[in-house]
Amino acid sequence: MRGTYTRRNFLAMGGGLGLAGLLSACGSPVVTSLTGGQPSTADVIFWHLFGGGDGENLGTMVENVQKATGHSVEATLLSWGNPYYTKLALAASSQRPPDVAITHLSRLPTLAQAGLLTPYSDTGLAQLGVTQDKFTPAAWEKATIDGQTWAMPLDTHPFVLYYNENAAKKAGLLNEAGDNLADLSGPDRFVEALTEMKKVTGKYGATMPTITDPSTVWRWFYTVYSGLTGPVVSDSGTRVTVDDDAMNETFAFVQKLTTELGLMPASATPTLAQQHFSNGDAGFLLDGVWNLPLYTGVKTADGSELKFNMVPIPALLGSDPVAYADSHALVIPKAGGRSAERAGYAEQFIQGLLDDSTIWTGGGHVPAWLPVQESAEFKQLSPQKNYVDAAFNAVYDPVGWYTGAGSDFQNQMGGVISTVLTGATKPESGTAQIKTALRNFASTNAPVS
């Protein structure tokens, strides 16, 4: 049964988990979906997991779509991570799901293979003009499993390189036009760049959270490793396919930056890394695009506004640039009782959100919908327009029932990587620990009923 999913499997995955909490929220769309018929409180019931700035942007988009279509939408925010996917799985398994829901594409294979989603081919989205040629290819490919497409990608949110523009200029790292970084490809050139940047800042060349943030260190590690070779697991996560030499080389490279060369902090929490970049103690920052709003409008020590830009991470150990990424996507959970009219409302809602996704880029995300990505309006947005290429070089979490955003897999991988970055673990030992953890995941049966 390893690596296989069924509707019953998924119900078992969520069985009891958080159910009491759900039922306590009597009358909510969540409970209605789980215990009653298809919710009828609005034309479209929509579940998502966005708070903060993303939640505000999505709220504006939902309002715009309601006005444009005349269809009412009930949007429900649920807890991020495993709780969200558990609730979505429970509702879909019970045949009482929302009409439209958000998923990370890294979580899509489990939902699709459990039979919980409506395939694109069974929808009327193509008739509305929502077709493959209008999406970023890497995101569409990730939304397609065994030839069947299951989700409409809303964005790509890659791991990128932030840089302090003033520090980069002083370090001589800008191109001839002075409007972007010069080419920093290759490990030697990257080390040189961090060395020059360190001379300017007096502290670090680059920073990132190296401890207490396992997902971020995993994204950094997997960006570098994927430049050399393929995924660490294959066959739906049941077979460990680590390239020992590539992993040892990756660990040696990232550890050298934090220990031997002292170009990056060995022990930085997310808060400390944020301070490093905001205060000018580090000229580069390795982080996800979703933290763009965190640095917008930040004041430096002299009271001026932090001037920064964002670009794809250059090719490091391999010949081609790679960006670890994930995507938010829109899915239509399968529901036998959904009327054709209601299904049509859901499809129009998805089309409307895609068309309005310029707003979504305010959170740093690269729109997956090419009519927006290639629009004159988006091309005016900086720094968003500068790292679009990263969406085309995206590498996602390997496929497995245990991988994906907010998973224990990322926590365990990141936990090992952090000890290598701090110098507590040698590269070869890090590889051995990663392989041991992967074997445990790979040999564990997918949840069964």
Q: How far apart are CA 434 and CA 420, in angstroms?
A: 11
Task: Answer yes or no: is pLDDT of 36 > 70.
Answer: no
Q: Is 32 exposed, middle or buried (0-12, 13-18, 19+ CB in 10 A)?
A: buried
Cα–Cα distances (Å) from 236 to 145, 231, 343, 353, in that order, read: 11, 11, 31, 31
* Pick from 106-110, 209-213, 388-392: least confident: 106-110
Cα–Cα distances (Å) from 121 to 117, 144, 352, in that order, read: 11, 11, 19
pLDDT of residue 30: 45
Q: Which amino acid makes up residue 91?
A: A
Confidence of residue 348 (pLDDT cuts 50, 70, 90): very high
| 316-330: average pLDDT | 97
Confidence of residue 449 (pLDDT cuts 50, 70, 90): very low
Q: How far apart are CA 306 and CA 1, in angstroms?
A: 53
* Pick from 30-44, 161-175, 400-414: least confident: 30-44
Task: Answer yes or no: is pLDDT of 35 > 60.
Answer: no
Percent of the chain clearing pLDDT 90 (strictly above): 85
Cβ(206)–Cβ(264) below 8 Å: yes
Instruction: Please list, in sequence order, all residues whose beta carbon lies within 8 angstroms of the beta carbon of residue 111, skipping any fewer than 6 positions away.
Output: 10, 85, 88, 89, 92, 103, 117, 150, 331
Look up the pTM and report it.
0.90
pLDDT per position as a tens digit, 80-135 = 888 899 899 999 988 889 999 999 999 999 899 899 999 999 999 999 999 999 99
Half-sphere exposure of 398 (CA within 13 A, CB side): 26
Classify 258 as helix, strand or coil: helix
Pairing of strands 233-234, 308-312: unpaired
The tokens describing 328, both together, are 């938010």
Task: Answer yes or no: is pLDDT of 32 > 60.
Answer: no
Q: Is 299 exposed, middle or buried (0-12, 13-18, 19+ CB in 10 A)?
A: exposed
H or E segment to which residue 395 belongs: strand 394-395
SS (H, E, C) 191-237: HHHHHHHHHHHCCEEEECCCCCCHHHHHHHHHHHHCCCCCCCEECCC
| 239-249: average pLDDT | 98
Cβ(162)–Cβ(307) below 8 Å: no
Confidence of residue 446 (pLDDT cuts 50, 70, 90): confident
Instruction: Please state the separation of Cα 431 from the chain's center in Å.
Output: 24
pLDDT of residue 302: 84
